């Protein structure tokens, strides 16, 4: 079992809801650093990018520029992701057991966005739970192969991965808890 797990096979909104539920369930047992994606909640917008919410603090980081109702373009705003990355790196340095990162997508494919948080978690030998935007799977392969394992969007499968990691049966450095 590899220490980086990529959840695939469902729409991003389903995976993000699953991540929120798992983070809530796991927080009583382990220290989690990272972010989950949340919708912006604005009506009549083509762009789905919204916010990144810190699992540790609840802080919201906007990752979109609102171009107004009816706009045909979607503009990702990288400044929020950079601020989120800085906070995640601080949480990693302060000590955590697992890093949950919403998604490797357009910003990360260009080595922006959460790419620094991915690198910090991997460099620290921490387990990482994430998803990958289908459009950027090739960039993810270049970034993270052969360090990751693919899991379905199924809480039982993800729980089995987490148990394997924390039981010390995963490939890589065992966690110090």
Give dist(CA 3, CA 14) in Å, integer.
22
In a domain, 44, yes or no: no
Give the pLDDT confidence score for residue 39 in this predicted structure: 77
- Mean pLDDT estimate for the chain: 87
Structure tokens at 134: 């289908």
The phi and psi torsions of 118 (rounded to 5 degrees) equal -60, -50
Mean pLDDT value of segment 84-108: 95
Residue predicted with more confidence, 46 or 58? 58
Q: How many helices (H) and strands (E) does the chain have?
A: 6, 9
pLDDT confidence tier of residue 63, bands split at 50, 70 and 90: confident
Name 58's Cβ contacts closer than 8 Å, sequence gap at least 6. Answer: none
Beta bridge partners of 56: none
Residue 84, domain extent:
4-36+79-166
In a domain, 84, yes or no: yes
Give the pLDDT confidence score for residue 122 in this predicted structure: 95
In a domain, 72, yes or no: no
Mean pLDDT value of segment 2-12: 94
Give the pLDDT confidence score for residue 62 in this predicted structure: 87
Residue predicted with more confidence, 30 or 63? 30
In a domain, 19, yes or no: yes
In a domain, 61, yes or no: no
């Amino acid at each position: 079992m590899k220490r980086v797990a990529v959840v695939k096979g469902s729409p991003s909104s389903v995976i993000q809801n699953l991540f929120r539920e798992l983070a809530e369930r796991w927080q009583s047992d382990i220290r989690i650093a990272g972010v989950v994606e949340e919708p912006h909640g604005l009506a009549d917008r083509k762009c789905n990018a919204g916010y990144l919410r810190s699992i540790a603090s609840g802080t919201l980081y906007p990752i979109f520029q609102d171009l107004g109702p009816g706009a045909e373009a979607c503009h990702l705003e990288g400044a929020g992701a950079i601020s989120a990355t800085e906070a995640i790196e601080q949480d990693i340095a302060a000590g955590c057991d697992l890093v949950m990162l919403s998604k490797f997508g357009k910003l990360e494919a260009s080595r922006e966005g959460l790419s620094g948080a991915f690198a910090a978690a991997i460099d620290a030998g921490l387990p990482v739970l994430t998803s990958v935007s289908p459009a950027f799977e090739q960039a993810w392969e270049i970034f993270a192969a052969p360090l990751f394992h693919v899991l379905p969007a199924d809480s039982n499968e993800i729980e089995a991965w987490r148990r394997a990691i924390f039981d010390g049966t995963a490939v890589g450095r065992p966690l110090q808890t």
